[in-house]
Structure 1
Amino acid sequence: MSPAVRTSRARAQLTLKEPPATVGAKPGGTIARLNLQFNPNSLQLSKTTEWRRTPSRMAGQSALPEFVGSGPRQLSLEVFLDATSTHDNSVEQAVETLMKACVPSPASLARKKPASPWVRFEWGTARTTSFDGVLSSLSVTYTLFDVDGKPLRATCALSVEEASVDPPGQNPTSGARTARSTHTVVAGDSLAMLAWREYGDATAWRAIAEANGIDDPMALAPGTELMVPALGDAGGEEER
């Protein structure tokens, strides 16, 4: 089978995940998954950068721009839904799944930290359009109805704004972190396990122990909030 044939069979999907409990943490478990009936005809990916330029007093010269920062990626796409050939004969269930991404999740409300689910668009092996984000806009247009007014077809225009950035050249489950984060200890946690999850190296647990003043790595009380530093911020422990 040729690569072109294999690629044509890849189906796009949207996954809703529980928002992180703390800043810098990863999203939680899957809340819902919507397997798209039809792959998008187009995807619009955008990213902004901000520059600052100090005016020059010399009329014949232009001041050099100074890079200030870059904004998150923004992915826009249209999702077409058709229930004319499905057993439930309605597109409202799929629309309700998308609507869940616009309101706080029950778990975040229980933590008294309301946050909407994180959304991830995935399509085969595409990488630039696959990232964790939040739904910044959703617009639904119903285009076909049955005799009872039940919507049978809909076009959903949505935009996903990037919520976290993985270090260049790293995937979400390996490689060193480049920013600080926090982790709340649960029963069964160990520094080695946390180091493996955050750095991809269980032997780097000393960096976390040093950052939190932990003398006994086996004595971790559930509910304790640990600061997880970037390896470069840990006093050079890994370089000695």
Structure 2
Amino acid sequence: MASLELMKITGYTDEEFQNKFPGNPYTFMINPDTVKLQKSIDYNEQQAPATSSTSQKYKSTPSDKLNFDIVIDCTGVVDAKRVDMAQEIKALETIIYTYNGKIHRPNFVKIQWGQDITFSGVLNSIDISYTLFKPDGSPLRAKISLAFSQYISPETVTMTDAPESPDLTHIVTVTEGMSLPQLCLKTWNDDSFYVQVAAYNKLNKFRNLSGIDKLIFPPIISNS
């Protein structure tokens, strides 16, 4: 009979999920009953002339969402060694919620459960409801609702998106010796958008881009 595998959350200090936050991952005491994964697509509705209905033009694909509830039980029935509620909450929050001064933000996190659930993201919200107490008011059991958003680094987004599409935002690495029109030609196969890119990045130069590492190429609206 296979042993029970518990869901765990590991903290990371970089957006590529390579450097683990010091300490052990937080392992849940009881696995969630339900895990909800939400995917969505955003559209701009447009109505063509002389038509009675709108058409949907692709706008963007928001990050995936992961939501689930877990129970922390410190009565000693589930795990005789884990009976300190304050310690459990602190251990969880340190990984997923607490501000990390070294990276100037809360940690990135990876949720793992078995072979089929691996989700890399950031915490959106944590709601804690205490449901059982000692006679002195100390909590013994808590239900915790967690919501996460998938996190993909800007460099990964750039590699994933179709590089020739001017409808998408790109983080472009500046190649030494290339001008802004040349970068536009390389990225979109069209060098005519360089003025808009320069304005978006507040550039006052088009040819010599020395000293600039990366530029944001925003979604472009063509005048044609």
Q: Take 2:159 and 2:47, find their aligned partners in 1: how far apart are those partners? A: 37
Unaligned ranges ≥5, structure 1 = 109-113, 183-207, 214-224, 229-240
> Does 1:140 pair with 2:133?
no
Are residues 1:10 and 2:5 paired? yes
How far apart, in 1, do the equivalents of 2:93 and 2:147 lie? Answer: 13
Paired residue type of 1:66: K
Answer whether contact 2:154 2:171 (CA < 8 A) is retained.
no
Aligned partners of 2:106 and 2:18: how far apart in 1?
11
Distance change (3 Å), C-alpha of 1:147 and 1:69: same
The counterpart of 1:120, out of the listed 110, 125, 148, is 110
* RMSD of aligned Cα (Å): 3.4
2:26 is matched with which residue? 34
The corresponding residue for 2:37 is: 45
Q: CA deviation at 1:27?
A: 4.9
- Deviation for aligned residue 1:181: 7.5
User: CA separation in 2, counterparts of 1:58 and 1:153?
Assistant: 62
Does the CA contact (< 8 Å) of 2:9 and 2:27 recur in 1? yes
Aligned residue pairs: how many? Answer: 168
User: C-alpha distance in 1, partners of 2:146/2:134?
Assistant: 25
> Residue 29 and residue 212 in structure 1: after superposition, are their counterparts in 2 closer, same or farther (change >3 A)?
farther
Percent identity over the alignment is 20
- The one of 80, 83, 108 aligned to 1:89: 83
1:149-197 deviation digits (Å, cap 9, x = unpaired): 3221111101011111799xxxx9xxx9447879xxxxxxxxxxxxxxx
Alpha-carbon offset, residue 122 of structure 1: 0.6
The answer to whether structure 1 residue 159 and structure 2 residue 147 are counterparts is yes
Matched, 1:98 2:92: yes
Separation in 1 of the partners of 2:39 and 2:152?
14
CA contact (8 A) 1:50 1:70 kept: yes
Higher-helix-fraction structure: 1
* Structure 2: unaligned runs, 5 residues or longer: 162-169, 178-210, 215-224
Hey, what's the Cα distance between the residues in 1 that align with 2:112 and 2:82? 25
Report the TM-score, using the length of structure 2 for normalisation.
0.62
Whole-Å separation in 1 of the counterparts to 2:97 and 2:11 = 11
Output one character per residue of 1:192-238: Cα deviation in whole Å (capped at 9) or x when no partner: xxxxxxxxxxxxxxxx9x9468xxxxxxxxxxx9969xxxxxxxxxx
Residues in 1 aligned to 2:31 and 2:99: alpha-carbon distance in whole angstroms? 28
Query: Is the 2:10–2:20 contact (alpha carbons within 8 Å) kept by the matching residues of 1?
Result: no
CA distance in 2: counterparts of 1:116 and 1:17, whole angstroms: 9
